[in-house]
Structures are given as structure tokens and as C-alpha cells.
Amino acid sequence: MFKKVNVWMLIMMFSFVSVFTYTGTAEASYQPGVDTVILVDADSGKILYEQNAEQALPPASMTKMMSEYLILEAVNEGDIAWDDIVPVSDHLAELSHNRGLSNVPMRTDEEYTVEELYESIAIYSANAATMALAEYISGSEGAFVEEMNEKGKELGMGETLREAGQEYGLDNLEEVAAEGVGDFQFVNTTGLPNSLLNGMHPDGTGPDEDNFMSAKASATLAYHLVNDYPEVLDVASIPEKVFREGTDDAVNMQNWNWMIEGTQLSDLDNQYVDGLKTGHTNAAGFTFTGTAERDGQRLVSVVMGADSEVHRFQETERLMEWGFNNFSLQEIFPSDMTLDGYETVPVAKGQEDEVAIASTDGVSMVIHEDDEEAYTYSVELDESMLNEDGELEAPIEEGTVVGQMAVEYNGENEAAFLPGEGNQLAVDVVTTENVERAGWFSLMARGIGDFFSGLWTSVADTVRGWF
């Protein structure tokens, strides 16, 4: 089956390839070719690089990542099933035949399953299909949009522009974004500007409003999407699939993510990329939230405001390659580690006078190659478990948590994390052996010994005072 490539796409590709061709060699430093970019470790949420990542901008169809999240959540929680039949309204049927927008054709007298509409969203960014699923799940697109904004706050994407604007007496989303406040705002399920919806925009939103997300908010959403519902990549990585194969409405859905092998342009293929979501509107430019896994390490990137389809993928390639070549998962401290200066803790009323302690889990982190020696640790014992002399009281069981080992970074580049992440920089400190309580006779003898020892010390001090 031949792939369709528009002539203007080829012209544009060759006009930019001389400027942005990436040779595949590792770069010591990364200099972005777009204004807005962020790179995140998908395991820890650690931010490896960011520029202008706090500014809320139109994300175009990257908005659909939140729609996908809520669809997958509804399936996983049993609210809907993959084989459910989704009704299609007259309005959505008409909209779905607008091929000027990314769409698969739908009809009111046909049956469509949740699964095939979801695939059209994840592969082909189908707009009317997204709206149909939103209406099916929440009753209306407006209700679904409310859930999108609430879920965004729950996931740590930040503050909505409407809420931020209230603090400044602003209700125009573009003006709020221009003030540099707020992190995201969903006004529909697709990322299209409401002005393209022919007056059928969701309730509670304005006819000319647009969606907004900062690069950091987009990365936070993608981070949760790939971690909470990793099955999203099973569909997002499909290069092409036929919608309604064998019917008059058959559409060969080619994935808009051209970095996936087997899509539009083989020069952009990247064997490690398996998602996630592209976008394009006049206001947004060309956007892309990508994710790739290499040697067990997964990264998430966001590129916003690129000036062509090709540019956004080449920028992602450069950013990902730099990240993989300069950051790796390293074991900073091993598990069951004996702690300098805290090898043991004194014990009261035990058969032993002290008990050995050690850390529990090892500490691993994605770090820059220059920072391997930049981490130290400190130990804090739980004072509530110690008596006034700083002792644990027997009996003591092996594995009793007596404090924490906190990992500290002493390098030049302070680590930053996505909101709500990066708090795993401390591990428990536990006892590594049992200490039984001493018997009454031993305790009595020890008490007598302590009494006479104290008495002798007192007498000796008195005698020394005579001279």
C-alpha cells in the first residue's frame, strides 16, 4: 500500500533539512532550536532540561492526551468497555466529514465501538471521534471538559488560567496567558480553537477561546499518562491502520508521529520513539510531546512552537539524543549500606549494649555523567524511639525502622522535578539484628555495678578535690 505524501510537505521538508539535519553524534550541550522545550525522566519526574517551560501556550492536539487519559481511566475503572457502542450525533457526524480537520468519517446510522474510536484518536488525532467519546463518557463535551480541568489539577499540572485570571481580574484566557500566570486550561476535548466548532463549543467556554498548556504541564500530563496507563503506547506506536476497513468510509490512518518507524518519512524514523502526541494550529505552530525508551531508560519531551512538521521531530531527536547520551540511571548508594558514624545505636536494658543499623533500599537516580560524585547523605534518627540518653530500649526486632538516610546533592546543577515528584530521596534506616531484653538478674547486677561505679567516681572526684 502506497503512502500519501503531499507535495508541499516534501518541499517544506527539503527546505528545512539543510538547517536542522541531526547527524546522530552526541552533543556536549543542547541548544534548543525552538523557544519552548522540556525534557523529563519518565521514571522519577526529574527535569533534565527546560526553557520557557512555565509559559502557557496553545498546545493544539496535545490536548487530546488528557482526553486519552480520561478514556483509559474510564475503561480501567469499568465505567465503559472497549466493545461498547458509541452513539454519534448529527452535529458530530457532519463535523467528522470535514476533511480539512483531522477526522475519520462517522454516520448516525452506523455503530462504532469505544476501541475503534479510541484508536482513531491515538493514531490519527481524529477530532469528532474524540468529542463522541467525551459525550459518551460524561453526557456532554462540556461536562467532560470540566473533568479534564479537575484531573489536570489532581495530576499536578498546576493552576488553571481561569483561576489565575480571577486573582488579576482577567477573564480573557489570552490576556491571562500573556500575563504569564496560570499553567493550563482546557476549553474542549480536541485542541481545536473553539472558533472552528461552528458555534457548537462546549458549555461553559467561549466561542473564540483556545486551550492552553505550558510545556511543563504537558510533560506532567504525559508523565502520568505513560506511567498510569502504559498501554497508551500500544496504540500510540502503531504506524498506520485502516479505519472501517472494507467499507465506503475506509480511511488509511497514518500516525502523525513521523518518528515512528513505518510512517510518512523514513528519514525521521527513530527506533526508540513509541509515542506520544502531535499538534498543529495557527496559534500553536507545530507541537509534539514525545516519549522514547532506550536501554531501559524512558524520557518524555515537549517541543512547542516549531515552524514545521519536520522541525518538531528533528528538535525532539536532538533533545532525546542529548538526554540519553548525558544522563543515565546510576545507583548512588547501595541497599543494606552501613552508614558512616551511625554503624550502631546504643541499647538500654538489652543483652547487648548496642545494635547494628543500615539503610534499607538502594538509591538510584538518573543523573548527569558529571554528577556521579556530587551526592552525599545524612542520617536522622527518630528521637521518639530513643530515651533521654539516646538509647533504644530492648527488646528490639531486626528490621525496626529507627530513622532515615536523606540523599543530598552538592553539585552545581540543583535537581528539579515535576510537581509532586522527586520526593523519593530518603530511605529508611533499620536495625539489622535482634536484641533481646536482659533478664531481671542481669539488670539487677548491672544496676548494682552502675551504683558502685557511680559511687566510686564520686569518691574519686571528692578526693581529687582535696589536692
**Residues acting as catalytic residues:** 61, 64, 125
Q: Are 189 and 203 in contact (CB under 8 A)?
A: no
Q: Which of 144, 158, 285, 298 is nearest to 214 (CA)?
A: 158
Q: How far is CA 323 from the centre of its chain?
A: 16
Dihedral sign for Cα atoms in the order 287, 292, 133, 120 = positive
Quick one: CA torsion of 164, 165, 171, 175, rounded to 10 degrees?
-110
First and final C-alpha spacing in the chain? 108
Q: Which three cell numbers stand for residue 422?
A: 522527586
Q: How far apart are CA 467 and CA 444, in angstroms?
A: 35
DSSP 57-79: B--GGGGHHHHHHHHHHHHHTTS
Smallest CA-to-CA distance from 212 within 276, 134, 129, 304 is with 304
- Residue 350 is given by DSSP the state B
Exposed/middle/buried for residue 245 (C-beta within 10 Å: 0-12, 13-18, 19+): exposed
Contact 183, 214 (CB under 8 A): yes
Cell of 386: 530513643
For residues 195 and 66, is the Cβ–Cβ distance under 8 A? Answer: no
Rounded Cα–Cα distance for residues 126 and 120 (Å): 6
* C-alpha to C-alpha distance for 202 and 86, rounded to whole angstroms: 19
Distances in Å between the Cα of 154 and the Cα atoms of 15, 38, 77, 211 are: 43, 21, 17, 18
Question: CA-CA distance, 186 to 62, in Å (whole number)?
Answer: 11
- Neighbouring CB atoms inside 10 A of 125's CB total 26
